Structure 1
């Protein structure tokens, strides 16, 4: 699934009010964190992740690594926040109606 510009704008707007339930610290990403993020994405489809200042990883590389590991899409990287989206086809009703029809 590839998000269009319109999809990303819609998801950025939807994620604006979200709190970041998880933080990535100095230790970076581990298997437990990947499991937690994946479980959250299965329930909510959209997540905002906070990266703490003591993390020395490059934000773009970190976001791409997360997206690749979780089979998710990077919606936005802004400041110390990463927003990821992963469509869950098993949900009865998705919380997000993407503007592009190609993602249905």
Structure 2
């Protein structure tokens, strides 16, 4: 569980990220979750864009994905959200205490 200070730090990183995934009409399927998990293992923090043709809004998609892959929701703004999961093999982001 992240503290408010850690979440704020991750939000500051997430602000400058470009969305590397788009969630559309195919929804949240296993292949999509696998790609997100691989990206989180490599980068630890990613931004996802939810397209208008998706059955989810950004908050629903963020909550669903985070619960299924055990990631931390960091921020939801408009149709985008940022999630974080510490890398098992190569942690890069040093969280403040």
TM-score normalised by length of structure 2: 0.92
Match of 1:64 in 2: 63
CA distance in 1, matches of 2:8, 2:84: 12
Aligned length in residues: 97
Q: Which of 90, 94, 97 is the matching residue for 1:97?
A: 94
Which residue pairs with 2:48 in the alignment? Answer: 49
Q: Report the structure number with the largest CA radius of gyration.
A: 1
Give the drift of 1:89: 3.4
Q: Unpaired segments of 5 or more residues in structure 2?
A: none
Deviation at 1:4, TM superposition (A): 1.1
- Where does the alignment leave 5 or more consecutive residues of structure 1 unmatched? none
How much does 1:57 deviate? 1.5
- Contact map agreement 2:11 2:74 (CA 8 A) in 1: yes
Quick one: distance in 1 between partners of 2:57 and 2:44?
24
Residues 9-88 of structure 1 aligned to structure 2 (within 5 Å): 9-88=8-87
Q: Which runs of 4+ in 1 moved over 4 A?
A: none
Q: Structure 1 stretch 53-62 or stretch 79-88: which is displaced more? A: 53-62
CA shift, 1:70, in A, is 1.1
Partners of 1:58 and 1:22 lie apart in 2 by 15
